[in-house]
Amino acid sequence: SQQGEEDPQALSIQEGENATMNCSYKTSINNLQWYRQNSGRGLVHLILIRSNEREKHSGRLRVTLDTSKKSSSLLITASRAADTASYFCATDASFQKLVFGTGTRLLVSP
Amino acid sequence: DAMVIQNPRYQVTQFGKPVTLSCSQTLNHNVMYWYQQKSSQAPKLLFHYYDKDFNNEADTPDNFQSRRPNTSFCFLDIRSPGLGDAAMYLCATSRDVASDTQYFGPGTRLTVL
C-alpha cells in the first residue's frame, strides 16, 4: 500500500509551543500535500510541496520534504488552541488520486 | 461561500435500507471524489469521476454505487447498508488531476441501526 505513516499518532502541547509532525511514504511522488481536519468536519488543504522543492512556508506553517528518505515534516509555530485538529499528509499515488496518511491528532491546550 | 456542499450532514438508516448521499460543487471542477472515513482513520477513496468517466477503487464493495448526472452534482448510493458501513462520507473535488488541491465538503455522518 502507498499509504503514508504519520508520527506521532497524537501530540499534546501548550499554546505558544511549536508542533512537529512527520510523514513517511513508500513510492515516488510528484507532490505531497498536508490537510487539517477539525473534529467531525471535512478536510482543509494547508500546503502543497512539489517533489523538486525542499521547504515551503505558509504563515505559521513550515513543510519540508526529503525525497531521498521519502519523508516530510510539518511544523506549526506558536501553536494556538484553534490549531487543535487532526493533520494528514497525502501523496499522489497515481495520476488522479491522493492517498492519505494515518494522521496526527494535535491537541493544543490554553 | 460554500464550495462543496454535502447533504444531509447526518443520515440515519436501517440495516439493509438503501440510502443516498449527495454532493454538489460550485467550483466547476472536473474531478469529484467520494471517501469513506471511519473513526480515527485516514480517508479511504471509494471512487472518483473525471468528468463523466467513473473510476472505481478495486476494494470498494459492490454495495457502493455512484452517479454524476452533471458537473455540479455527485451521489453516493449504498444499496444495502450494513453496520460496518457506518462512517463519515466525504465528498471532494479537484480542478483536474490528483496533484491539484482537493476541496472537501463538510461530510455526511452515516449511522446504521
Q: What's the pLDDT score for residue A69?
A: 95
pLDDT grade for A4, boundaries at 50, 70 and 90: confident
Chain A residues touching B5 at Cβ < 8 A:
none
Q: Does A91 touch chain B (CB under 8 A)?
A: no
- CATH 3.40.190.10 for domain A5-103, yes or no, is no
Mean pLDDT score, B43-53: 93
Assigned C-alpha cell, B95: 480542478
The answer to whether A98 touches A32, Cβ cutoff 8 Å, is: no
Assigned C-alpha cell, B111: 449511522
Chain B nearest CA to A63, separation (Å): 16
Q: Does A41 touch chain B (CB under 8 A)?
A: yes
Burial of B103 from C-beta contacts in 10 A (0-12 / 13-18 / 19+): buried
Q: Does B103 touch chain A (CB under 8 A)?
A: yes
B50-73 in b/e form (b: 16+ CB < 10 A) is beeeeeeeeebeeebbbebeebbe
Q: What's the pLDDT score for residue B96?
A: 83
| Domains of chain A, residue spans | 5-103
Among candidate residues B45, B35, B51, the one with its CA nearest the CA of residue B106: B35
pLDDT grade for B18, boundaries at 50, 70 and 90: very high
pLDDT grade for B1, boundaries at 50, 70 and 90: low
Q: Does A98 touch chain B (CB under 8 A)?
A: yes
The answer to whether A90 touches A24, Cβ cutoff 8 Å, is: no
Assigned C-alpha cell, A5: 505513516
Q: What single-letter DSSP state applies at residue A83?
A: G
The answer to whether B69 touches B83, Cβ cutoff 8 Å, is: no
Say whether pLDDT at B100 is over 90: no
Q: Which of B41, B92, B101 is closest, CB to CB, to A48?
A: B101
Assigned C-alpha cell, B59: 476494494
- What's the pLDDT tens digit per position in B2-11? 699 999 999 9
Would you call A103 and B42 a contact, using CB atoms and an 8 Å cutoff?
yes
Percent of chain B with pLDDT over 70: 96
In the three-class reduction of DSSP (H, G, I as helix; E, B as strand; rest coil), residue B67 is classed as: strand
Say whether pLDDT at A1 is over 60: no
